[in-house]
Structure 1
Amino acid sequence: MNKTVEKTNQQIESTFITPMRSYTLSALDYYELLFSAQLDAARAYSDMTIAQARTWLDVKDADGFKKAMESQQKTMSDLLERMKGDSEKVTSISQSFMKDSQKMAEESTKKALETAKQ
């Protein structure tokens, strides 16, 4: 009787609990990477905005206005480049998580089928 209960517990552990734990760890890693990327992006965008505001506050004449406009164009170019990179980073993080999740689901299904055959 004890061997049957122990075997059942092992099957439940290997079929459900271990895969769930693995998925949860993977999801936590994913969200940590995603939130970190978002915070980095927000910080960079804020820094760009504040720097640009300071540039405009320094305008005192036509030459200053010209420099501020040039700075504005450069900032927009940098911002678009940064947004592109941030988008690619988030896409990469998401694709990696999806690939890992799919692999875990396939392994879990395979394990469950093997356990059911026993």
Structure 2
Amino acid sequence: MSNATLDQATQQFESLFFAPARSYAALSLDYTEKLLAAQFDAVKAYSDVSLSQARAALDIKDAEGLRSYVEGQQKAAQDLSERLKDDAEKVVAMNQEFVQKSQKLAEDNLKAASKSTTKTTAK
């Protein structure tokens, strides 16, 4: 096998297998990073609310404090519910973006493979 043939085979193998695998791995890694960041952000927000409510419970000293605490609980529950909805929407959007980019990547790789195969068979 000559060097030119070996170089051509290496180039085809790179363009058909390694480059698409690296592109998909990079896309997956970016998605994972975004998902983990969203999860850490959500956990931090939920933890902050929980700790805040626990501290507020410690401050109850009378009936008025209890009333205030219960009102605060209702507000916290409402805010948490809204946050959960927003977080779920964010994750759904990230999933849709990942699927779209994955499909585009697969289509591009299929076109490139088809073009490469056509070139190889023409030679």
TM-score range, shorter chain: over 0.9
Residues 11-20 or 70-79, more deviating: 11-20
Alpha-carbon shift at residue 57 of structure 1 (Å): 1.1
CA deviations 1:39-78 (Å, max 9, x no partner) are 0000100000000111111111110110001000000000
Count matched residues.
Answer: 118
Alignment of 1:18-33 (within 5 A): 18-33=19-34
1:111: how far off? 1.3
Superposition misfits of 4+ residues, deviation over 2 angstroms: none
TM-score normalised by length of structure 2:
0.92
Looking at structure 2, the residues matched to 50 and 24 of structure 1 have their Cα atoms a distance apart, in angstroms, of 38
Aligned ranges for residues 98-117 of structure 1 at < 5 Å? 98-117=99-118
| Residue segments in structure 1 that go unaligned for 5+ positions in a row | none
Superposed, which structure 2 residues align to 1:7-26 within 5 Å?
Answer: 7-26=8-27
Give the distance between the partners of 1:6 and 1:54, measured in 2 at CA: 68
| Aligned mates of 1:12, 1:112 — CA distance in 2 | 10
- TM-score, normalization: structure 1? 0.96
Secondary structure at the counterpart of residue 80 of structure 2: helix
The alpha-carbon deviation at position 35 of structure 1 amounts to 0.3
Q: Which residue of 2 aligns with 1:47?
A: 48
2:103 is paired with a residue whose SS is helix
Mapped to 1, the partners of 2:114 and 2:105 lie a distance apart of 14
- The separation in 1 between residues aligned to 2:86 and 2:57, in whole angstroms, is 27
Identity level (%): 47
| Residue of structure 2 in register with 1:85 after alignment | 86
Structure 2 equivalent of residue 36 of structure 1: 37
Shift of 1:101: 0.6
CA RMSD between the two structures: 0.9
